[in-house]
Structure 1
């Protein structure tokens, strides 16, 4: 008869996500994971597979549960540009004390070799979803007269995506916090 799990896999996955987010994939060892998750090495392998499998599951969790949720921020009725500004300001704000700085997707993009198709596909999914969401919001902004009638929402969405990712990189450092806030503050000027 199989023994029941003595830990909650969802809690362990959340903790693994935080550790990978804070340290990166390469710098996180199996020993680090075992210690941080508080589970036996055999349990880790039995539940999640190897380190790479656990990393992919953690990255999936990060992508599925964004904080803030851009859909929630950008889907509210009314003017779009203030909602975009709110989202940018949230991304430019310092990370809460209990959260790692920066963005796990950005860290994965920087660290991941191009041949790791499993990670690359997750990056594309994350960025593609963000582009679709931003394009939709900008189409609404154009229809409401908030941006120029000849504006290209898809191109502007890519601009915002790259800006957001840059804000997350620069804002991860205390030396870059002011730069990230300034970039967020002036972003809408490029849209009008």
Structure 2
């Protein structure tokens, strides 16, 4: 029996290209033709490597979140809750208006306007955003324990707030808002954390 030819493509480079297509067009808007052209492979190779379009999205999201992990570690290592918020939101303003990348955030853009047949995609994206929210909540719990935040501060609500502002900034960026507009949102939002500070 003849053996099929091995996949002859750089999976990481191909995923970077797929990630950009999903980022620009969302899951629903990204076609197999666009994905395979960007990745430099044919449809059978895509299906052999990733199973289907949703499998490709999950692999692209894994790559995106792995790249983002080092930045998140830097955000969480800020000395105070206020600094965590500032680092995250200013970083969001800068990254989501970076001319080298599509505007906005893949974890927001990827699931916009998903229709029948792709119901799992928004849940997949929400689950990944929830991981960030969990990290923030744990960091703010620690901030309370260290006396940085007021005893009455709600760590979960602050984490949810920061996640919501970050996602909203992603939508703004994808709609054409510039870096200065996003930084204005960040500056106002950081004041919430200043008000919750125990110092």
SS in 2 for 1:24: helix
Q: What is the deviation of 1:59? A: 2.7
Cα pair distance change 1:184/1:104, threshold 3 Å: same
Per the normalisation by structure 2, the TM-score is 0.83
Equivalenced residue count is: 191
**Secondary structure of the equivalent of 1:86?**
helix
User: Mind listing any 5+ residue stretches in structure 2 that lack a counterpart?
Assistant: none
Pairing of 1:17-166 with structure 2 (within 5 A): 17-66=19-68, 69-76=71-78, 78-93=79-94, 94-113=96-115, 116-166=118-168
CA shift, 1:117, in A, is 4.9
Contact 1:88 1:184 in 2 (8 A): yes
Structure 1 stretches of 5 or more lacking a match?
A: none
Aligned CA distance change for structure 1 residues 145 and 114 (closer, same or farther; 3 Å): farther
Cα 1:6–1:114 shift into 2, 3 Å = closer
TM-score by length of structure 1 reads 0.85
Q: Distance in 1 between matches of 2:116 and 2:145?
A: 39
**Cα distance in 2, alignment partners of residues 97 and 67 from structure 1:** 21
Q: Is the 8 A contact 2:25 2:110 kept in 1?
A: no
Give the superposed CA RMSD. 2.4
Deviation (angstroms), 1:29: 1.6
